[in-house]
A and B are shown apart, each in its own frame.
Chain A
Amino acid sequence: MFVARRLVLAHFWVAFVAFLGAIFLGEWQMFMRSPLSAWINNPEHYYRSVTAHGTVMAYVLPTLVAMGFGYAISELALKRPLIGLRWAWTGFWLVIVGTAMAAITVALGKASVLYTFYPPMIASPFYYLGVVLVVVGSWIWVALMSINLRAWRKENPGATVPLAMYGNLAGAYLWAWTSVGAAVEVLVLILPASLGLTDTINAGLARVFFSWTLHAIVYFWLMPAYIAFYSIVPRAIGGRLYSDTMGRVAFALFLVFSMPIGIHHLFADPQVGAGFKFVHAAMTAMVSVPTLLTVFTIVASVEIAGRLRGGKGMLGWIKALPWDNPMMLAVTFAFIMLGFGGAGGIINMSYQLNETVHNTQWVTGHFHLIFAGAIVIMYFMIAYDLWPQLMRCGSMPAGLMRTQLWLWFVGMMVLTMPWHWVGILGMPRRMAYYDYSHPELQAQAWTVTASTLGGLLLVISAVLFVYILARARRTHEAPVPYTFSEPIHMPARTPVALNTFAVWVTMMIALTLVNYGWPIVQLASLEQASVPVIPIGGR
Chain B
Amino acid sequence: MSEERLFSWHNRVVKRSVIALVALTIVSMLIGFIWLPPVHEDFTLEGLWAGICRAAGVPANWGSDNASQAGTSTSVVLEPAMARAGTNAEIGRGATLALNCTMCHGAQGMSRSDAPNLAGQYPEVVIKQLEDYRSGHRSSPIMEAIVNGLSDRDVRDLAAYYAYLPKARTAPTTYDETLPALIRVGDPLRNIAPCISCHGGVDQKLGAPWLEGMPKRYLVTQLKAFIAGTRHNDPGAQMRNMARAMTDAEIDEVATFYARKASNGEPGRAAP
Shortest A342–chain B CB gap in Å is 20
User: In the bound complex, how far is the Cα of B21 from the Cα of A40, in angstroms?
Assistant: 51
User: In the bound complex, how far is the Cα of B5 from the Cα of A526, in angstroms?
Assistant: 44
Q: Is B142 an interface residue (CB 8 A)?
A: no
Q: Which chain B residues border A438 with CB–CB below 8 Å?
A: 189
From B185, which residue of chain A is reached at the shortest CB distance? A39
User: In the bound complex, how far is the Cα of B37 from the Cα of A278, in angstroms?
Assistant: 11
Q: Is B242 an interface residue (CB 8 A)?
A: no
Known A274-B36, A535-B80: A518·B189 in contact at CB below 8 Å = no
Which residues of B from 177 to 230 have beta carbons under 8 Å from A? 177, 184-185, 187-189, 194, 197, 200, 202-206
Q: Would you call A286 and B24 a contact (CB within 8 A)?
A: yes
Q: Would you call A199 and B81 a contact (CB within 8 A)?
A: yes
Which residues of A from 480 to 517 have beta carbons under 8 Å from B? 493-500, 502-503, 507, 511, 514
Which residues of A from 147 to 204 have beta carbons under 8 Å from B? 158-160, 196, 199-200
Q: Would you call B13 and A534 a contact (CB within 8 A)?
A: no
User: In the bound complex, how far is the Cα of B114 from the Cα of A362, in angstroms?
Assistant: 49
From B206, which residue of chain A is reached at the shortest CB distance? A534
Q: Would you call B57 and A435 a contact (CB within 8 A)?
A: no
Shortest B194–chain A CB gap in Å is 8
Q: Would you call B189 and A275 a contact (CB within 8 A)?
A: no
Q: Would you call A534 and B205 a contact (CB within 8 A)?
A: yes
Q: Would you call A440 and B28 a contact (CB within 8 A)?
A: no
Q: Which stretch (B48-56, B91-99, B131-139, B149-157) binds chain A?
A: B48-56
Q: Which chain A residues border B6 with CB–CB below 8 Å?
A: 496-497, 500, 502-503
Q: Is B23 an interface residue (CB 8 A)?
A: no
Q: Would you call A278 and B28 a contact (CB within 8 A)?
A: yes
Q: Would you call B21 and A256 a contact (CB within 8 A)?
A: yes
Q: Which chain B residues border A518 with CB–CB below 8 Å?
A: 56
From B57, which residue of chain A is reached at the shortest CB distance? A273
Q: Would you call B58 and A522 a contact (CB within 8 A)?
A: yes
Q: Is A44 an interface residue (CB 8 A)?
A: yes
Q: Would you call A42 and B1 a contact (CB within 8 A)?
A: no
User: In the bound complex, how far is the Cα of B206 from the Cα of A199, in angstroms?
Assistant: 12
Q: Would you call B54 and A274 a contact (CB within 8 A)?
A: yes
Q: Would you call A273 and B54 a contact (CB within 8 A)?
A: yes
User: In the bound complex, how far is the Cα of B33 from the Cα of A537, in angstroms?
Assistant: 43
From B11, which residue of chain A is reached at the shortest CB distance? A497
User: In the bound complex, how far is the Cα of B18 from the Cα of A532, in angstroms?
Assistant: 44
Q: Would you call A41 and B14 a contact (CB within 8 A)?
A: no
Most chain B CB neighbours (cut-off 10 Å) among A434, A507, A532, A537: A532
From A158, which residue of chain B is reached at the shortest CB distance? B1
Q: Would you call A539 and B204 a contact (CB within 8 A)?
A: yes
User: In the bound complex, how far is the Cα of B58 from the Cα of A214, in angstroms?
Assistant: 24
User: In the bound complex, how far is the Cα of B25 from the Cα of A279, in angstroms?
Assistant: 8
The residue from A272, A497, A498, A511 contacting B21, defined by CB atoms under 8 A apart: A511
Known A43-B197, A274-B36, A433-B185: A498·B28 in contact at CB below 8 Å = no
A-contact bits for B10-47, CB 8 A (1 contact / 0 none): 01111001100100110011011100110000000000
Q: Is A271 an interface residue (CB 8 A)?
A: yes
Most chain A CB neighbours (cut-off 10 Å) among B4, B18, B57: B57
User: In the bound complex, how far is the Cα of B6 from the Cα of A271, in angstroms?
Assistant: 40
Q: Is A527 an interface residue (CB 8 A)?
A: yes
The residue from A41, A431, A440, A514 contacting B177, defined by CB atoms under 8 A apart: A41
Q: Is B71 an interface residue (CB 8 A)?
A: no
From A537, which residue of chain B is reached at the shortest CB distance? B203
Shortest A276–chain B CB gap in Å is 7
From A510, which residue of chain B is reached at the shortest CB distance? B21
The residue from B4, B37, B177 contacting A495, defined by CB atoms under 8 A apart: B4
Known A42-B202, A273-B57: A533·B80 in contact at CB below 8 Å = yes
Q: Which chain B residues border A494 with CB–CB below 8 Å?
A: 1
Q: Is B77 an interface residue (CB 8 A)?
A: yes
User: In the bound complex, how far is the Cα of B24 from the Cα of A507, in angstroms?
Assistant: 13
Q: Is A339 an interface residue (CB 8 A)?
A: no
User: In the bound complex, how far is the Cα of B52 from the Cα of A499, in angstroms?
Assistant: 40
Known A275-B29, A435-B188: A42·B175 in contact at CB below 8 Å = yes
Q: Is B78 an interface residue (CB 8 A)?
A: yes
Q: Which chain B residues border A199 with CB–CB below 8 Å?
A: 79-81
Q: Which chain A residues border B7 with CB–CB below 8 Å?
A: 502-503
A-contact bits for B89-130, CB 8 A (1 contact / 0 none): 000000000000000000000000000000000000000000
The residue from A277, A441, A498 contacting B189, defined by CB atoms under 8 A apart: A441
Q: Which chain B residues border A39 with CB–CB below 8 Å?
A: 185
Q: Is A21 an interface residue (CB 8 A)?
A: no
Most chain B CB neighbours (cut-off 10 Å) among A273, A283, A498, A502: A273
Which residues of A from 35 to 84 have beta carbons under 8 Å from B? 39, 41-44
Shortest A122–chain B CB gap in Å is 9
Q: Which chain A residues border B187 with CB–CB below 8 Å?
A: 435
User: In the bound complex, how far is the Cα of B2 from the Cα of A160, in angstroms?
Assistant: 12
Q: Which chain A residues border B18 with CB–CB below 8 Å?
A: 507
Known A44-B203, A196-B80: A282·B32 in contact at CB below 8 Å = yes
Q: Give 7 CB contacts A-B under 8 Å.
A: A199-B80, A274-B57, A275-B54, A433-B185, A496-B5, A503-B6, A503-B13
User: Which residues of B does A touch, CB under 8 Å?
Assistant: 1-2, 4-7, 11-14, 17-18, 21, 24-25, 28-29, 31-33, 36-37, 52, 54-59, 62-63, 77-81, 175-177, 184-185, 187-189, 194, 197, 200, 202-206
Which 10 pairs between the two chains have the least Cβ-Cβ distance? A273-B57, A275-B55, A278-B32, A158-B1, A41-B175, A539-B204, A282-B28, A199-B79, A497-B13, A275-B33
Identify 9 new A-B residue pairs, CB closer than 8 A, beyond the known A278-B28, A536-B203.
Answer: A274-B57, A276-B56, A277-B32, A434-B188, A496-B1, A496-B6, A502-B7, A511-B21, A511-B25
